[in-house]
Amino acid sequence: MAACLISGRLAVGQEQPVSVALDARERLFEQLATDAEHFDARNILKKVVRVSKPSVVHIQSRKIVQTGSRRTIEEAGSGFVIEVNQQKYILTNRHVVFPTVADGVKISLEDSRQLTVENIASDPASDIAVITVRETESLVPARVGDSGRMEIGDFVVAIGSPFGLTHSITYGIISAKGRKDLVLGTQGVVIQDFIQTDAAINPGNSGGPLVSMRGEVIGINTAIASSSGGNEGIGFTIPISMAMVVVGQLLDKETVRGAYLGVRMDHDFTDSTALKLGLSHARGVRITGVTESSPADKAKITPNDVILSFNGTLVENDDHLANLVSLTPVGNKASLLLLRNRKPIRVEVQLTSRPQSEEK
């Protein structure tokens, strides 16, 4: 009898915790359901994705392996719809659609509808391409933001076709700004002012948008730094404000000539030279010559002037100044901070079209 009682007590003792645990688990599920409703109500990522995805396109390109060769390969990329002067276009990277065979670019929307390519205008220096398509009425243009307002640490979403998986979403932050002098797989990209992000970017994301938490496109995903060929948390994006300047030039002229200042620059500006001019170290750009009748000449810029800032942006070096000038719309005025005779002065320059014979 004692043995039976002991056995019975053990059985009762074993059943009670199981019952309590199941009840507690059910209560946890109920709490999670309530918490999830509150979380979902505040989860703006879903809203960003919903408002952005309809503007994103998948691009399939049959690319020429080598000039003069008949060999081709299929590559996937991305793009997105923009609206300029009430006309809709597809914006992407040049390397997504170049070099391709005739009729080698296929564009499809999220609902699998195909678009007919009519024209591609591109600029190798910035790696930007604008595609004119026939079916524009139903296209949903992306809202273009101001990439200049984005800060390191801002959350962003990347949308594209990594490894051909169309309309994939990744999420991260802006890791850095103003990345230059990158050695990219795409040769000839000389205009560099990249935004760096840790949002996962892989082959196939090129040309797709980087989107802010306001649902606005702030960049074109372009390249990655990787030892494996896949995402390692370092991706590079062309700022949309820079891209739209190139877009305007491509649509107006089909070739990008950029604005023109008309100066010759000291490519070997050293600390010792800077000390003689009144600077603690070499920064900005030392002018060694000015082209006659150029915008710089009209603004009375002279040799040995050091350009320290351009429209409020501190000038890092000669390549940086060349980029800033090239990406300024022709006809715009620019405010320059100079160091002349050890004193800071400001001058205003009205930029003109760059003559083909001039490089800067």
Q: Give the tens place of pLDDT for each residue, 56-97.
A: 999 999 988 776 677 888 999 999 999 999 999 999 999 999
Fold for the domain defined by 147-253? Thrombin, subunit H (2.40.10)
Mean pLDDT of 121-147: 93
Torsion sign (Cα): 303, 305, 306, 312: negative
Q: Is 108 a catalytic residue?
A: no
**pLDDT digit string (tens) for 272-310?**
999 999 999 999 999 999 999 999 999 999 999 999 999
Model pLDDT, residue 198: 95
Mean pLDDT of 185-205: 83
58, 95, 167, 320: which one is catalytic?
Answer: 95
* Mean of all residue pLDDT scores within the chain: 87
Residues contacting 101, CB < 8 A, separation 6+: 62, 63, 64, 72
What secondary structure letter does DSSP report for 53?
A: G
Percent of the chain with pLDDT over 90: 60
**Residue 180 pLDDT level (bands cut at 50, 70, 90):** confident
Q: Is 95 a catalytic residue?
A: yes
| 3-state DSSP assignment of residue 317 | coil
Q: Which two tokens stand for residue 239?
A: 């700022």
Model pLDDT, residue 360: 44
Residue 166, CA distances (Å) to 74, 105, 107, 139, 281 in order: 15, 16, 11, 17, 49
Mean pLDDT of 160-165: 92
Model pLDDT, residue 196: 95
| 3-state DSSP assignment of residue 169 | strand
**Residue 4 pLDDT level (bands cut at 50, 70, 90):** very low
Mean pLDDT of 234-248: 92
Every domain range in the chain assigned CATH 2.40.10.10: 51-133, 147-253
Q: Is the pLDDT of residue 227 over 70?
A: no
Which of 156-165, 176-185, 259-268 has the largest mean confidence? 156-165
Q: What is the pTM of this model?
A: 0.74
Model pLDDT, residue 70: 75
Model pLDDT, residue 350: 93
Every domain range in the chain assigned CATH 2.30.42.10: 259-353
Model pLDDT, residue 288: 93
What CATH number has the domain spanning 259-353? 2.30.42.10
> Pick from 236, 277, 249, 262: which is nearest to 322 by CA?
262
Mean pLDDT of 100-123: 91
Q: Is 7 a catalytic residue?
A: no
What is the separation, in whole angstroms, between the first and last Cα of the chain?
A: 104
Q: Is the pLDDT of residue 42 over 70?
A: yes
Residues contacting 282, CB < 8 A, separation 6+: 269, 270, 271, 273, 274
55, 206, 294, 326: which one is catalytic?
Answer: 206
Model pLDDT, residue 356: 59
Is the Cβ–Cβ distance between 287 and 301 less than 8 Å? Answer: yes
Model pLDDT, residue 300: 95
Model pLDDT, residue 3: 46
**pLDDT digit string (tens) for 316-342?**
888 788 878 877 878 889 999 999 999
Model pLDDT, residue 191: 75
Model pLDDT, residue 165: 92
Alpha helix (H) residue ranges in the chain: 2-42, 44-52, 94-97, 240-253, 271-277, 295-298, 318-326
Q: Is the pLDDT of residue 311 over 60?
A: yes
52, 78, 127, 266: which one is catalytic?
Answer: 127
Mean pLDDT of 134-142: 93
Q: Which class does domain 51-133 fall in? A: mainly beta
- The answer to which of 26-40, 111-125, 187-201 has the lowest mean pLDDT is 187-201
